[in-house]
Structure formats: C-alpha cells, structure tokens
C-alpha cells in the first residue's frame, strides 16, 4: 500500500523531485556547455530525469509495495510528459522573452510551475491507493 502522508512522503517527494531536477539541470547544462542547442539539450535532460523520477517516486515518495506494471509506467509517462511539456513551454517562453536570462533560472521557474501539476497527477492518477478489498 502506498504511503501518502507525513514527513516520509513529503521528504520523499522533495528528495525524488530534487534528484530528478539535478539530473535534468546537470545534463542540460553539461550538453549546452559542450555545444548542443539549449532546447535539444533540455529535451534530453528531461527524458533522463523522467526515468529517474519514476523509479524514485515509486519507491521513495509513494512506497509502492506492488510490483511495477506497464499500466503504472504508462500512467506515469502520461503525467510526466504532460508536466514536462508544460515545463518545456514555460522554459522556452522565458528564454525567448528574456534572452539574457540564465538557463538555470529558466529551469527553476519552469520546474516549479510543473511540479504542482505533476504531484497532483502522480498522487491522484499514478500512485493511488488500490480500491478497498482489492488486496
């Protein structure tokens, strides 16, 4: 059964999301440093971070006892893709509207906005409690 309240849950959400953020920002920054386009670099950073986030949220944030399933992964991928699309749009708009804005600032702002959407989707649609009597 999933754990969805208390310090362990919120600490797990912060740890898992923070780790995914560091992976995303680190890969994006590194790839841009080595000459890759900043938009392509961000797509790669988001993709790698999404896999890290699924594995960590499943285990650390929501403490799922059940084995991972394709349907769970597909629900996660749908929520994550939607949140990451929002993240990428906000990131891109910030860089287009404010071309001198440091990349890391755009990542932080875009990620903060997308975090709210992703948490709600993960909590309500991906790592939800099983219906009573379905043990």
* Domains contained in the chain, number: 1
Question: Cα dihedral sign for 116, 120, 126, 129?
Answer: positive
pLDDT in tens, the chain (135 residues): 454 568 888 888 889 989 998 999 999 999 999 999 999 998 999 889 888 988 898 888 888 888 878 888 888 889 988 998 999 999 999 999 999 999 999 999 998 899 888 888 988 888 876 544 444
Residue 49: give the domain boundaries.
6-126
Task: Please report whether residue 120 resides in a domain.
Answer: yes
Residues 6+ apart with CB under 8 A from 35: none
> What residues contact 112, with CB distance under 8 A and at least 6 apart?
none
Is residue 1 assigned to a domain? Answer: no
With respect to residue 134, please indicate whether it lies within any of the assigned structural domains: no
The C-alpha atoms of residue 29 and residue 13 are separated, in whole angstroms, by: 24
């Amino acid at each position: 059964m999933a754990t969805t309240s208390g310090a362990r849950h919120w600490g797990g959400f912060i740890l898992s999301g923070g780790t995914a953020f560091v992976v995303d920002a680190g890969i994006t920054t590194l790839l841009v440093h080595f000459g890759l386009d900043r938009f392509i670099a961000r797509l790669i950073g988001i993709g790698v971070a999404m896999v890290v986030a699924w594995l960590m949220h499943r285990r650390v944030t929501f403490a799922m006892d059940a084995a991972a399933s394709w349907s769970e992964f597909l629900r996660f991928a749908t929520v994550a893709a939607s949140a990451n699309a929002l993240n990428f749009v906000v990131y891109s708009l910030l860089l287009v509207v404010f071309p001198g804005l440091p990349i890391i600032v755009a990542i932080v702002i875009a990620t903060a906005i997308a975090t709210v959407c992703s948490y709600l989707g993960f909590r309500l649609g991906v790592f939800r409690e099983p219906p009573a009597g379905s043990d």
